[in-house]
Amino acid sequence: MVNILIYHSYKELSRAAAEEIASQIQRKADSVLGLATGGTPEGVYDELIDIHKRQNLSFRSVVTFNLDEYVGLGSDDPNSYRYYMTKRLFSHIDIPKDQYFLPDGTNENLLQECEDYEKLITSRGGIDLQLLGIGHNGHIGFNEPGTPFSTKTHTVTLKQQTIEANSRYFHTIEDVPKQAITMGIESILNSKRIILLASGKKKASAVKRLIEGTVDESFPASALHLHPNTTIFIDRDAASLLDD
Ligand code: PGA
């Protein structure tokens, strides 16, 4: 069961999603948040910083787990997701450094890293609210089409389409890592609440398939229909192909 909220603009969508996250933290100061990277959540992070500064929303007791990280990129690499999160959010709010987590893509034992990450999420009580984007091919996190819905945190080889979409952040397409660690679909579905964001015409066909299509492992985001409390925040452009 998914709920759908359609907003006029990306700015409105970002504000509304940030307010949802803020009220989650107001209800439960030690909330465990699942966070995402990419272009889409940038507006939400800007709005959260604004709420933190203007309304004194505190992240002092919040714990966060990011969905994914590239294999081989360390925290000082500007293309690592740890770097992105620090720059976009963590350095602007009062979350303690030992309360935000991302998979470590430089760990030589990736299998161990995945197991440890999954255990760490469980040991913190699981994720209260997970933020997601969606790839053109329906991926969530780096769970590419064909990923079994039963997967936990694991290492993946990125599809060419994903490498191309993400190459905009790198000097050349060859610089995009070919592998990543990602929470699995089951890890995502274990979250108590999920918010998926999609903005712009380029996401319209993925949004249409997510909302109107069947539940199928060839389209990972369709797994969200199996989750009891998912809300999809989209703007008018992303909703433009939906049936009336
Ligand atoms: P984007 O990526 O927000 O940069 O479009 C979303 C995703 O690939 O999950």
**pLDDT 10s digits, 144-179:** 999 999 999 999 999 898 899 999 999 999 999 999
Q: Using a 6 Å cutoff on CB, does residue 14 contact ligand 1?
A: no
Q: Using a 6 Å cutoff on CB, does residue 39 contact ligand 1?
A: yes
β-strand pairing of 68-70 with 179-182? antiparallel
Q: Using a 6 Å cutoff on CB, does residue 38 contact ligand 1?
A: yes
Tokens representing residue 178 in the block: 């070919």
Every domain of the chain and the residues it spans: 2-235
Half-sphere exposure of 205 (CA within 13 A, CB side): 3
**pTM of structure:** 0.97
Q: Whose CA is nearest to atom 7 of ligand 1?
A: 135
Q: Which of 144, 154, 190, 235 is catalytic?
A: 144
Q: Using a 6 Å cutoff on CB, does residue 103 contact ligand 1?
A: no
Reply yes or no on whether 104 is catalytic. Answer: no
Other Cβ atoms closer than 10 A to 55: 10
Given the CA of residue 40, which atom of ligand 1 is nearest to it?
Answer: 3
CATH number of the structural domain 2-235: 3.40.50.1360
Given the CA of residue 38, which atom of ligand 1 is nearest to it?
Answer: 4
β-strand pairing of 179-182 with 63-66? unpaired
Identify the band that residue 244 occupies on the pLDDT scale cut at 50, 70 and 90: confident
Is the Cβ–Cβ distance between 56 and 167 less than 8 Å? no
H or E segment at 194?
A: strand 193-198
Reply yes or no on whether 12 is catalytic. Answer: no
Query: Can you tell me the distance from the alpha carbon of 238 to that of 95, in angstroms, rounded to the nearest whole number?
Result: 32
Query: Can you tell me the distance from the alpha carbon of 146 to that of 110, in angstroms, rounded to the nearest whole number?
Result: 21
Distances (CA, A) of 151 to 51, 129, 145, 154, 220: 35, 19, 13, 7, 11
φ, ψ for residue 131 (rounded to 5)? -95, 135
Work out the average pLDDT over 49-62.
98
